[in-house]
Structure 1
Amino acid sequence: MKSTVFVAIMALLMTTVSALNLEVISSQHPVPVCIRDFVQEEQLVVVNIKTDGRVGDGQRLDLHIVDSIGNEYRRKNDIAGTVKVTFTSHHNAAFDVCFTNHLDHKYNQNSKLFREIDLEIESGAAARDWNAVQAVEKLKPIELELRRVEELTNEIVNELQYLKAREERMRDTNESTNARVQWFSIGVIISLVGLGAWQIQYLRHYFKVKHII
């Protein structure tokens, strides 16, 4: 019993789920409202969207999902009700879930219509259909929770390795930049000393020619 409770708590703590509620105001010249999340390469992502309103109510809510590298995962126009989007990430990168709410031209710009959106983003192990896994592999509840925790742990380890590799690249870049700045500073000092010595010699020669000294 204690093991089951421990596994359940660990699974709850480590589940990667982002859920929020937002209002997207409609406009004839709307600005996209975007929610950003980060995923690892080849990671499963499930985006669950639930909106109020309906198609033809004077608003057109468009959905666009794209990552920071430029990969487009989904584009849907005039969404309403419940929408589920599933995709696998191509890179370690942030991705944006963007909503654009267009107001029909027959409505006044001051109508202040809006769509309310419930957005839930699940990634990695949290996005898998564990009921289907349990049915296919015929796992007991405790085995299913252990399997889930194992996958979540592997994801955390992979993310830490990615962060470590990124930190090492940034450190190498920083050290390389410092070395270049150091040599540049030395070069500037040598140039200034050489220029000063040349100016002194030139002035001494000039004064001698003019019989000033």
Structure 2
Amino acid sequence: MNKIVSSLLVACIVLACFSSTSDALTQQIEPKSQECYFEFIESGKTSLILYQVIRGGLLDIDFRLFDPRGNTLVSRLHFDTTMKGRQTFTAAESGAYKLCFNNEMSRFTPKVVTFTWTLEDSDKDFVKSDTLNPMEQSIHKIERTLQSISVEQKKLRYREQTNRDTSENTNGRVIWYSIIQVFVLISMGIGQIWYLRRWFDNKTSQRV
């Protein structure tokens, strides 16, 4: 009985060790502008940021991360077609860290970005002691597997959304292209009928 209670306690601690600040947030970044988000992080905690540009231009965005003092931790131009939208870092000091998605390089095209910011509690070392029994170790192994599955599911969900937007955009272009083709064919048919009628009318008038 004590082993069961101990295992349940460890499971509760494991679930509390990894806390997500929020569900996936989707934001449209207008051209010549940037959107920033703040998160208070205690010293020693590790953050995992997953992000993806799902619509707009070349699926590019300027990713920037700042520490509480305003120093730049990460600054790079991200292209979703060639780069992974993943960033991890460990807070060197407690404070409000700032994450910015900058679209100032775009003149006319807005970008739609979706992202999650997950915090990993440094106190997890408490439950990773060498004194854990086999059941507790199995719980930790399952927890790590679930974390990995969750990350992969988020990536697949972002990719599916991007592909769906691309498909809908392509379908819209095909529809408009078909409408233009129909309009051109009807115009050519009407033009040919008008030309033939005029040609026969001229022949008739010349015979009379």
Taking structure 1 as the reference length, what is the TM-score of the superposition? 0.48
Q: TM-score, normalised by structure 2?
A: 0.49
